[in-house]
Amino acid sequence: MTRIQNRAELIAGADGKEAQARRALALDLFDAALAAVDPLLCTRRVLRELCTQGKLSRPVTLFAFGKAARGMTEAALSEVPVTRGIVIGFETGRLGPLQLYCGSHPVPSDDAPEHGEAMLKLAHSLTADDLALVLISGGGSALLEVPRTGLTLSNLQAATRVLLASGASIQEVNAVRSALSAVKGGKLAHAMAPAQVINVVLSDVVGSPLASIASGPTAPAGLADGADLTTIVERYGLTARLPPAVQAALKSAMPMNDDFEHVTSVIAADNLTAQEALVHEARKRGHHALRRQAYVEGEARLLGPRLWREAQRQQAIYVAGGETTVTLGANVGCGGRNQELVLSAGAAFSRDARMGSTGSGLFAAMGTDGIDGASEAAGGLFDASLLARIKALGLEPSVFLTRHDAGTLLSLAGGAIRTGRTGTNVADLTLVWP
């Protein structure tokens, strides 16, 4: 089953059978990667192993938050004795013994503190005889939130918007979020003590540092003190843009110094899982495919051309993963980091096309969660057919890049990849086929 909703349109939009076959394969490879990080299947596999080890042989209280919360929760309900719990995702109501709360992303919803307080209350009710199963996935930073004493939700919402537009890495953004929160940076685990805690994590952060995934509610804080946080603020010129209360809170921030011996963590799937599945599927179909050893990080518009050049040297289906950043200015259009990455690579592709050195390449990128920034697309693709369509429409890619409006251009030219919410989240994937 394809997860790409506009697969037929994307294939039909290519000029000629060769170009159509190339697009079809690229989309199939993305589908294979998404299937490999299906939260229900990945979580079920981990839970079965934990049950075999005797670590989940008694009733559990479940805490789930993030973009993959629903799928991970369904796996838990099918594999372990869940007696009660709270799930914070994109649905409301009840699921068996569990209360579901609906939040928003990437900025916390107005009722986020109410949901977060309910989770903290449940955590505080645990005793030494209890076992907590915590299902964590990317997006949890926005979905699970309670402001630290002295801060308001509007302070956190404003700080989140500033941070996400700054070009800071997700690790840096979440380090700041942890310091402003009463639930992040190990504070949820602190509330659960002395109960035993098992974290099952679907990671959307490069390298899977537990302190960064969903801002680490059940993991030790990643930074030492307020001095490190102040350095981040100064590095991206945010001092004058953050609310005064936020600046004061960051200066006085101290990490949770608890003993985390009562916490066990297992990574169910991550970006590498998706990359390897993509490479495996390409090779299974008889293609030479290579995985970029370094994760993709940094400014999207600078990395697109670099990845295109790297792939040309490899002469293979070149697969990369990670998470780029976009530093937003005053002019902000529609799109996200993946579409900006694609369009910036398209500029290098166009230069090569003018010199007659390419005509059959393809560059595609997508967010595994299905939502790329401020758009309804997961990502996009660029090839000679798209270049011809852009020229026919009289559009200038550099103009759209300048105003961070790659999503609009790709949508107009027929290069946007649409999946809707995929229910998973392991950061981004890039496929380059020179």
What integer pLDDT is reported at residue 355 of this predicted model?
44
In order, the DSSP letters of 273-301 are: HHHHHHHHHHHHTT--EEE-SSPEEEEHH
- For the cut 60, the answer to whether the pLDDT of residue 215 exceeds it is yes
- For the cut 80, the answer to whether the pLDDT of residue 258 exceeds it is no
Q: What is the mean pLDDT of residues 354-368?
A: 77
- For the cut 80, the answer to whether the pLDDT of residue 351 exceeds it is no
Collect all residues with Cβ–Cβ distance below 8 Å to 351 and sequence separation of at least 6: none
Q: Taking each helix axis from N to C terminus, what angle separates 337-354 and 300-314, rounded to the nearest 10 degrees?
A: 50
- For the cut 80, the answer to whether the pLDDT of residue 259 exceeds it is no
What integer pLDDT is reported at residue 347 of this predicted model?
80
- For the cut 70, the answer to whether the pLDDT of residue 369 exceeds it is yes
Output the six-digit token pair for 305: 């051309």
Q: How many residues does the chain have?
A: 434
Q: End-to-end CA distance of the chain, in Å?
A: 27
- Which has the higher per-residue pLDDT, 220 or 128? 128
Q: How far apart are CA 338 and CA 412, in angstroms?
A: 16
- For the cut 80, the answer to whether the pLDDT of residue 209 exceeds it is yes
Q: What is the mean pLDDT of residues 408-430?
A: 97
Q: What is the mean pLDDT of residues 284-289?
A: 97
Between vectors from CA 249 to CA 247 and to CA 253, what angle results, nearest 5°?
A: 120
What mean pLDDT is reported for the chain? Answer: 93
What integer pLDDT is reported at residue 235 of this predicted model?
92
User: Which one, of 14, 104, 31, lies nearest residue 366 by Cα?
Assistant: 31
- Please state, as a whole number, how many other Cβ atoms lie within 10 Å of the Cβ of residue 331: 9
What integer pLDDT is reported at residue 225 of this predicted model?
56
What integer pLDDT is reported at residue 253 of this predicted model?
83
Confidence category of residue 416, pLDDT binned at 50, 70, 90? very high
Q: How far apart are CA 276 and CA 25, in angstroms?
A: 16
In order, the DSSP letters of 28-81 are: HHHHHHHHHT-HHHHHHHHHHHHHHTTTT-S-EEEEEESTTHHHHHHHHHHHS-
- For the cut 50, the answer to whether the pLDDT of residue 177 exceeds it is yes
Q: What is the pLDDT of residues 295-318, one digit of tens each?
A: 999 999 999 999 999 999 998 999
Confidence category of residue 256, pLDDT binned at 50, 70, 90? confident
Q: What is the mean pLDDT of residues 339-353?
A: 85
Residues 275-284 as b/e (b if ≥16 CB within 10 A, e otherwise) read: bebbbbbbee
Q: What is the mean pLDDT of residues 361-368?
A: 97
Confidence category of residue 350, pLDDT binned at 50, 70, 90? confident
What percent of the chain clears pLDDT 70, i.e. is strictly above it?
A: 96
| Global pTM exceeds 0.75 | yes
Q: What is the mean pLDDT of residues 257-281?
A: 94
Q: Count the alpha carbons within 13 Å of 162 in the hemisphere toward its beta carbon.
A: 21
Please list the helix, strand and coil fractions of the chain in percent, rounded to the nearest 5, in that order: 45, 20, 35
Q: What is the pLDDT of residues 20-48, one digit of tens each?
A: 999 999 999 999 999 999 999 999 999 99
Confidence category of residue 335, pLDDT binned at 50, 70, 90? confident
What percent of the chain clears pLDDT 90, i.e. is strictly above it?
A: 85
What integer pLDDT is reported at residue 356 of this predicted model?
46
Q: What is the pLDDT of residues 182-192, one digit of tens each?
A: 999 999 999 99
What integer pLDDT is reported at residue 254 of this predicted model?
79
Output the six-digit token pair for 396: 């200038």
